A = this chain, B = another copy of it.
Amino acid sequence: MTDRHLAIDLPSVDLIDAPAAVEPVDGESLAPAVTRAARILDVMAERPGEPVGPSELARRLGLPKSSIANICGALADAGLVRRIGTGFALGRRLAELGGAYLSTVDQVQEFYDASRQLPTGSEETVQFAVLDGLEVTYLARHDGRQPVRLTSGFGRRLPAFSTATGKAALASLDEAELRRRLAGLTTLLQPTRHAHRTVDELLVDLDEIRRRGYAIDDEETMEGVVCYGIMIPARQVGEGPCAASITLLKVRATAERVPALVEDLRWLAATLSDPLRRA
């Protein structure tokens, strides 16, 4: 099975050119233990599975070792974290809570339905994501029948400016909002050599996307993989714009196939936008 499937492992975090500061000190006024717990989970999420001990956590977070140990103990009791030997890693309860959250996003449920019935029946991998700042979070994925599979399902964060979903969502922002999010940013970290390197390049691309109606990620996230994305207005209250995308190997993305892919995307966008559609 696995030999028939090419597993594509997307590059990991830290793709955004962090503006220097390594987070010196900030909002630790209210319930600091909770804020610290969240930061502990963040560290564990960087390399899930790898257990981390109190000492390493204390070093990376700049916090007292015993405080970390206390918090980890509480997290373990709650199931949010599990003990591996003497260290800690993300726990199963997070999957339960994450699933509970996803069940509240109507568009995710509808996406699963819709992605199995694309009008052209193209059966490529299709994903659903939401924009958050300058990153996109993937909330759902439907694997096609192609012997190519993206590793890891939902929950992954990728930079918005190098993904089809991210660019499609960014292009839907108004000028002021876009400028606000890009403030202080000049150069962009490049996941691959095809990705935009400057904000100006990105802005030109966003203009094209607005004209064209959909976004293209031409090996910007990963060599050999292309992605077509379209914006989907968020229906949930506080959420940013969403997007759907179709992912396929570049060798399969011939010019004659693009119209069908775009048709699928347009249909997905229309379907997931319809406020009358309720599960």
Contact = CB atoms under 8 A, between A and B. Distances in A.
A96 interface: yes
A85 to B, nearest CB: 8
Q: Which of A82, A91, A114, A239 has the most CB of B within 10 A?
A: A82
27 contacts: A1-B113, A2-B113, A7-B279, A27-B77, A30-B73, A31-B70, A31-B71, A31-B74, A34-B71, A34-B75, A34-B78, A35-B74, A38-B74, A38-B75, A38-B78, A38-B93, A48-B101, A48-B104, A82-B238, A92-B101, A92-B132, A94-B98, A95-B101, A95-B102, A96-B98, A99-B153, A112-B143
Contacts of A278: 2
A83 interface: yes
Interface in A253-279: 271, 277-279
Given A83-B238, A92-B101, A95-B154, A74 B279 contact: no
A185 interface: no
A45 interface: yes
A99 B152 contact: yes
Identical copies of this chain, number: 2
Interface of A: 1-2, 5, 7, 27, 30-35, 37-39, 41, 44-45, 48-49, 70-71, 73-75, 77-80, 82-84, 89-104, 109-110, 112-114, 116-117, 130, 132, 137, 139, 143, 145, 149, 151-157, 237-239, 271, 277-279
